[in-house]
Structure 1
Amino acid sequence: MEKIILWLLVIIGIILFVISFKKPPFKNWIIVFLLTSYFAEFLGVLVVEEKMLEYPKRFLSSYFSSSILYEYLLFPVVCVYFCQTTYTSKFLSIVFQCILYTSALTITEVFFEKNTDLIKYHSWTWMHTFISTFILMMFIRFLIQMINKKK
């Protein structure tokens, strides 16, 4: 069952990836996607190496100890959508939307942790996921805003 879920997530991720880059400005979304991938992989490896959580069933499991599907595709695509929907928003709206996106990701992760072998928490909790995802998404959002102001 886990392999089916992983392949469905790959397909959904690729479709969302293609759709997300149709909205201008294209360069912003590439930067957001790549920065999110970089930081997510860096933090993901730290968490897995510290044995705070593990991914018993992984996409390309023989090559990576962390979840490359989440860190290189799904989370960066969600972050692109977050940045797109908050592109012209004020601070409180950005925070509110970040809470919504982060909540959706956290609820999904908790569902997978409880009902599948895709992820297993050890010392990690849903609160760690929520806080780290929220901080990373806000960091990327304000980083792209700073990059755009330097023009």
Structure 2
Amino acid sequence: MKKILDNTIELLAWIVTSLLLIKFVPRKRIREAIVSFLFKQVITWIFGLLVVEKDLISYPNRLFFKKAIKSSFTFEYFVYPGLCALFNLYYPENKPKIIKVLYYSFHTSIITIFEIIAVQYTNLIRYNKWSWHWSFITMYMSYFLSRIFQRWFFRINTK
């Protein structure tokens, strides 16, 4: 029964993320979203594999590529990058620093809360030698790196 719930949650993650991207990525900004999406995939590929191989986190029940990779394809390579694309598209570039910090914190907190719930109630993710605050810090930093790359790639001036 729990495996059915896990698979349902994973499929819903694909559907919800796809719908969010379709709804909130304007046609004229698809290129920006793709760059952000792919850059976040690079970050999660490197860091995600490191964390899994060091046995800090495990993903006991995965829907895709169970024998090819130990990390969660759904979350590491689709959901997080999709949310990062939206993060960068709607980043409050010309707002005060406190708004920017709150924006980072809000996005990171939402993902961390869903991860905590998944750890407690599903077999989608298991913390072995990890805790939620490490997830928060690493996601915050990956969003920060993604934003730096986005500003550099598209020559966004912050004045």
Where structure 2 has 5 or more consecutive residues not aligned to the other structure, the ranges are none
TM-score normalised by L of structure 2: 0.87
1:130 aligns with 2:136: yes
Q: Secondary structure at the match of 1:124?
A: coil
- The one-letter code sitting in structure 2 at the alignment partner of 1:89 is N
Please give the alpha-carbon distance, in whole angstroms, between the structure 1 residues aligned to 2:84 and 2:8.
Answer: 24
Q: Secondary structure at the match of 2:154?
A: helix
Please give the alpha-carbon distance, in whole angstroms, between the structure 2 residues aligned to 1:36 and 1:82.
Answer: 11
Tell me the equivalent position of 2:91: 86
Identity %: 25
1:47 aligns with 2:51: yes
Alpha-carbon shift at residue 18 of structure 1 (Å): 2.4
Tell me the equivalent position of 2:79: 74
TM-score normalised by L of structure 1: 0.91
Contact 1:53–1:122 (8 Å) recurs in 2: yes
- The one-letter code sitting in structure 2 at the alignment partner of 1:79 is C
Where structure 1 has 5 or more consecutive residues not aligned to the other structure, the ranges are none
Please give the alpha-carbon distance, in whole angstroms, between the structure 2 residues aligned to 1:63 and 1:115.
Answer: 25
Could you say if the C-alpha distance between residues 128 and 111 of structure 1 is closer, same or farther in structure 2, counting changes exceeding 3 Å? same
Q: Secondary structure at the match of 1:24?
A: helix
1:6 aligns with 2:10: yes
Tell me the equivalent position of 2:152: 146
Aligned length: 151
